[in-house]
Amino acid sequence: MTTNHLKSELTKAIAGITDKSLLEALYTIINKTENPSFEYELNEEDLNIIEERGKAYKAGKAKTITSGEIRKRYTKKFSS
């Protein structure tokens, strides 16, 4: 599907939406995608925690798991 065709299909789909909250959500998604801004900043305590965890990881003292293991645990927990 070409970019122009996709835009056309989205325009048609959006034109048919009557739910104001859904339209506002779509507007927010589009606006954030086109104009990304990072409004959140870590405070000093959060930065210290991240730094300490980084040091523990580099020293081999932190337990880590792979993204595959995370996926497996998530699937097991939420697929029942």
pLDDT at 35 (0 to 100): 57
pLDDT given at position 38: 62
Q: How confident is the model at residue 77 (pLDDT cuts 50, 70, 90)?
A: confident
Query: pLDDT tens, 14-71?
Result: 999 999 999 999 988 888 765 566 667 889 999 999 999 999 999 999 888 899 999 9
Of 40, 38, 10, the C-alpha closest to 26 is 10
Residue 30's identity, in one-letter code, is I
| Other residues' Cβ atoms within 10 Å of the Cβ of residue 11 | 9
